[in-house]
A and B are shown apart, each in its own frame.
Chain A
């Protein structure tokens, strides 16, 4: 019996055969991936903004060099991901347009402010830690270009988390004021980090289909739990506390129980009402607009040069005759 294209597609997925850009795919698979990969790319790009503020304020040359390298990586990660999305038939300009027009989402975490230097450590340890939790399974996602981009991203991301922990570790052994700063940053970033994994499974409408297509390999709640279990142990080394009175080890489940997440806050930030949504988007748009003359100049130069080449080769041709 003949199988439909859709059945053949699902069979490939079930056999762990990667889907490549020119293969047949259901339109919804394509659209889901364009949405997910472009949101992921936007998150890398907007994710540079909260950190940019601290480049000139880093406490030492070493920290400054590290922060610059991390931010440069994030630009690179955005570029890998935009390229992967482009293989699905959307243009780079269209994705930028969606971001700048406020129609595209990016990770809600970047709409929170970075108030002290300790936030750079907390972002590395917690935000990048949560991102890695999400990204490692994506290295095996069913769409080839996305999986390959994620392998590259994950290789580079590990230093981001380690430098963050190291930075907090130094603060945690410092003066009382440094310790307070460290605890304060953890307090502010903890809950928004838990929200990074997305809504609870029973409210996440895309999860079931995405799992069937093996775009996602674990549900939001599964990944969130893994993250809590990891951080609850690591924070002991810092001698700091997570701001959750309900956090405790559950011997029966072999997992940490944790308190209720304020989902109302999550939806508000996602809708654009977070503390920095407007500022982030404005900064991003300004960077794009201010760079327009550079892009135009480069294009004009390239056109002029290729015209010159054309003219030169014409005159050589003329001389031959």
Chain B
């Protein structure tokens, strides 16, 4: 069987992004702080949702920066941050094949079923 999910750093960024422990790896353009993805729960009862990213030296700084950058107007009650290199993503090149199995299973939708009009509330 073909495996579609393969390790790939966060879908929106390249794999060359350095991490906290590797941050002093030589050339001038790579001594920046690692990249973190920010997820915010806007209110109790809702999922955390991806809102963007930022650079920070460590997790504590990432949380504080996320508060300042992404919640200046009460946009959230909870913040998750995760280092971007830890996010694995499906590949856009394989989108069609990856989601193909769902395409021909229309019987998974309630509207597929032909029911008598007398039947109420179903």
Q: A: which residues have CB within 8 A of B? A: 20-23, 69, 72-73, 76, 79-80, 83, 86-87, 89, 91-94, 97, 145, 148-149, 152, 156, 295, 298-299, 301-303, 305-306
Contact = CB atoms under 8 A, between A and B. Distances in A.
A315 B24 CA distance: 26
Nearest to B23: A299
A21 B12 contact: yes
Contacts of A21: 11-13
Nearest to B50: A148
Contact of A295 (B30, B33, B35, B92): B33
B106 to A, nearest CB: 23
Given A20-B12, A76-B69, A79-B69, A299 B21 contact: no
Contacts of A306: 20-21, 58
Contact of B58 (A23, A92, A156, A305): A305
B52 A299 contact: no
Given A83-B53, A86-B13, A149-B52, A22 B92 contact: yes
Contacts of A299: 23-24, 31, 33, 57
A91 B12 CA distance: 13
A93 to B, nearest CB: 5
By Cβ-Cβ distance, the 7 closest A-B pairs, closest first, are: A298-B57, A302-B58, A302-B57, A87-B12, A21-B12, A93-B29, A22-B92
A314 to B, nearest CB: 15
Contact of A22 (B11, B33, B55): B11
A22 B91 contact: yes
Given A22-B91, A93-B31, A303 B21 contact: yes
A173 to B, nearest CB: 30
A76 B61 CA distance: 16
Q: Considering residues A22, A80, A149, A298, which has the most beta carbons from chain B within 10 angstroms of its beta carbon?
A: A22
A153 B32 CA distance: 25
Interface residues on B, range: 20 to 34
Interface in B3-54: 11-14, 20-21, 23-24, 28-33, 35, 52-54
A111 to B, nearest CB: 27
A80 B52 CA distance: 7
Contact of B68 (A76, A149, A152): A76
Contact of B30 (A72, A83, A93, A149): A93
Given A97-B29, A302-B58, A145 B12 contact: yes
A93 B53 contact: no
A226 to B, nearest CB: 27
Contacts of A73: 72
B121 interface: no
Given A20-B11, A22-B11, 12 more contacts: A72-B68, A76-B68, A76-B72, A93-B30, A152-B52, A295-B33, A298-B61, A299-B57, A302-B20, A302-B57, A303-B20, A303-B21
B120 interface: no
Contacts of A20: 11-12, 92
B72 to A, nearest CB: 7
A89 B57 CA distance: 21
A91 B30 contact: yes
A72 B72 contact: yes
Nearest to A87: B12
Interface centre among A89, A92, A148 (most CB of B within 10 A): A92
A302 B89 CA distance: 27
20 contacts: A21-B12, A22-B11, A22-B89, A69-B72, A80-B52, A83-B54, A86-B13, A86-B53, A89-B14, A92-B55, A97-B29, A145-B12, A152-B52, A295-B57, A299-B24, A299-B33, A299-B57, A301-B58, A302-B58, A303-B21
B104 to A, nearest CB: 23
A86 B12 CA distance: 9
A69 B28 CA distance: 33
